[in-house]
């Protein structure tokens, strides 16, 4: 029997255990949107950019092109409205919000 294994029942967020990624609920919102857009034929592929300052979900309309835009989460935003961003391929901020669900739901993705 391996004595080095331990069971984690409640994985509580703490500052010293901070992970640099999307939380489960955030990732669900983004992946639900991704599934919807793929089924409509608008999006083809995605990628993730992860750093200590920001994590980004990059969307591709064609897998051979650069990312069309990126849904980002800033870990240490200057302003609370810069917590979640949608940027274009050059890094220009198209939309921003402090709530991911509001950001994702209040945009016309076909026109973006």
Average pLDDT over residues 40-46: 91
- Burial code of 43-70, b = ≥16 C-beta within 10 A, e = fewer? beebeeeeeeebbbbbbbeeeeeebbbb
Band (102; pLDDT cuts 50, 70, 90): very high
CA distance readout (Å), 83 to 39, 44, 52, 59, 90: 28, 26, 14, 19, 19
The verdict on pTM exceeding 0.85 is no
What per-residue confidence (pLDDT) applies to 12?
55
Average pLDDT over residues 99-105: 93
For residue 39, give the H/E element and its range.
helix 24-39
Band (8; pLDDT cuts 50, 70, 90): low
Average pLDDT over residues 24-52: 93
Band (65; pLDDT cuts 50, 70, 90): confident
């Amino acid at each position: 029997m391996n004595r080095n294994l331990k069971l984690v029942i409640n994985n509580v967020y703490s500052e010293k255990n901070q992970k640099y990624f999307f939380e489960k609920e955030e990732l669900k919102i983004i992946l639900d949107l991704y599934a919807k857009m793929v089924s409509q034929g608008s999006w083809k592929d995605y990628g993730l950019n992860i750093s200590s300052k920001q994590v980004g979900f990059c969307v591709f309309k064609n897998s051979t092109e650069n990312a069309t835009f990126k849904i980002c989460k800033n870990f240490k935003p200057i302003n609370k409205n810069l917590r979640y961003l949608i940027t274009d391929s050059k890094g220009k901020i198209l939309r921003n919000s402090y709530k991911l669900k509001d950001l994702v739901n209040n945009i016309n993705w076909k026109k973006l």
